Chains A and B, each alone.
Chain A
């Protein structure tokens, strides 16, 4: 559904995006993560045709946006629904007329577009707020209106640019739940740009990590997350930060990928490292598999090597996390 091939974008002397290849099949929720300046915003602008790629292609549902212009570009944009961090509703319009706006732009009659907008507002749970202005709605309600608006022209793809970054935790969960139900009920393809790892963990099927304008890692969430020793996995399943006090203590971190908790604990036990030595751990079950990391604190370098050897003998990836 979304196909990026060799996408490159240069601003003056700065390379914003380089060799971006990305493919998102229909009906999938794909997350794009990366730090500020990693190229996330440029990627979105290239996807929507607001910026033209320096080279490479951007195809949505087989239509290459990078070689469209004028009326055709405007037509092509209607196959993309866009959800913004700051929602960008028009203050001069009611919720109903904001949702109807994409249809107004497309030339749909007033009665028809208002009926559709009403239906969409019902769908996002705001059937009783149709006549409210954005200033009369809460942040979460505004984002719901924004999502309803993005759906109005029946797009095949929903692009979400940091859709929950301005919302509190509870509202974030509600909005993410709504996005997931859109995919489930409408079969829409969703691309979420975010810096919040929790968002990726919560709803993404697959994920791409951008760093320095390049794809640093991409794949199914379960695979990426279970890859031993990967930085993205560490970001996705974070452990609380730890400090070290005693001189000789070493922290060994074992990855649960491809294994499970009892195996790791058994392996540690076999070299005399008991469950008491667990300093921190994060374990999640994704698609029926246990994924996460366990940190053991062990006295001295010799013991840590012994533990790592024992874990690796059982096929568990382990490394010294702190010395």
Chain B
């Protein structure tokens, strides 16, 4: 521990901060986009399911299949498979911006499934009550399902975000940038145990903060 080099190497002193920022940017962007796109997909899944307010079993099966297929592809393979799409979207397959594309594609179906399950928790009586007040399907979704399921939807976003942090690290293996890239190229390939350790500590901290904020936020909106 008295080794003057310990935690004093350029990988940590110079690259740690930008790598952390990249990881945070990747996580924030992909969580934001996944929630933005996964929420409507989850609502669509739920409303078209057998117990939904607009049951369309054939559509549900198709949507469900797409979601399951996407979710069953290991993330590291998904990144590589998506390279042409990523190039088309952001012009490059390298760096954190490119990783956001793959992260978002991977997280949308993940979040959508969690949304579907959260909406299923809303009691049928509340929905019937709104229907009997003359609410349209759109009003039932906006005024009953989403607000009543909000604590669950926030919890689902938290889980998605935490999962995305670990996915950013995986993306580091294929030129994705961020703390994962730093840990792999310095901590693993150059045997810098201190870099590895520092990356792990920061990643754990990021996850802890996300979880804390998510729980906090969910509690604030939970009036049950």
Q: List A residues at the B interface (Cβ < 8 Å).
A: 48, 50, 71, 74-78, 80, 82, 84, 86, 88-93, 101-102, 104-106, 133-135, 153
User: Which of A89, A105, A133, A134 is in CB contact (< 8 Å) with B133?
Assistant: A105
Establish whether residues A75 and B147, one from each chain, have CB atoms under 8 Å apart when the complex forms.
no
Establish whether residues A105 and B132, one from each chain, have CB atoms under 8 Å apart when the complex forms.
no
Contacts of A105 in B (CB 8 A): 130, 133-135, 139, 143
- A278 → chain B closest CB, angstroms: 47
Contacts of B224 in A (CB 8 A): 91, 135
Establish whether residues A74 and B135, one from each chain, have CB atoms under 8 Å apart when the complex forms.
yes
10 contacts between A and B (CB under 8 A): A77-B133, A82-B129, A88-B123, A88-B125, A90-B144, A92-B148, A92-B223, A101-B130, A102-B133, A105-B134
Q: List B residues at the A interface (Cβ < 8 Å).
A: 123, 125-126, 128-136, 139, 143-144, 147-148, 150, 221, 223-224
> Other CB < 8 Å A-B pairs besides A92-B223, A101-B130, A153-B133, 4 of them?
A75-B134, A78-B134, A88-B126, A105-B133
Establish whether residues B223 and A91, one from each chain, have CB atoms under 8 Å apart when the complex forms.
yes
Bound together, the chains give a CA A44 to CA B129 distance in angstroms of: 12
Closest chain A residue, CB of each to CB of B132: A82
Establish whether residues A88 and B129, one from each chain, have CB atoms under 8 Å apart when the complex forms.
yes
Contacts of A90 in B (CB 8 A): 126, 143-144, 147-148
Contacts of A50 in B (CB 8 A): 128, 131-132
Contacts of A76 in B (CB 8 A): 134
Establish whether residues B125 and A78, one from each chain, have CB atoms under 8 Å apart when the complex forms.
no
Closest chain B residue, CB of each to CB of A79: B134
Establish whether residues A84 and B125, one from each chain, have CB atoms under 8 Å apart when the complex forms.
yes
- B97 → chain A closest CB, angstroms: 37
- B178 → chain A closest CB, angstroms: 37
User: Which of A84, A93, A133 is in CB contact (< 8 Å) with B147?
Assistant: A93
Bound together, the chains give a CA A153 to CA B136 distance in angstroms of: 16
Closest chain A residue, CB of each to CB of B146: A92
Contacts of B150 in A (CB 8 A): 92
Closest chain B residue, CB of each to CB of A104: B143
The list of the 10 closest CB pairs from A to B, nearest first, reads A74-B134, A88-B129, A88-B125, A133-B223, A92-B147, A102-B133, A77-B134, A78-B134, A82-B132, A91-B224
Contacts of B132 in A (CB 8 A): 48, 50, 77, 80, 82
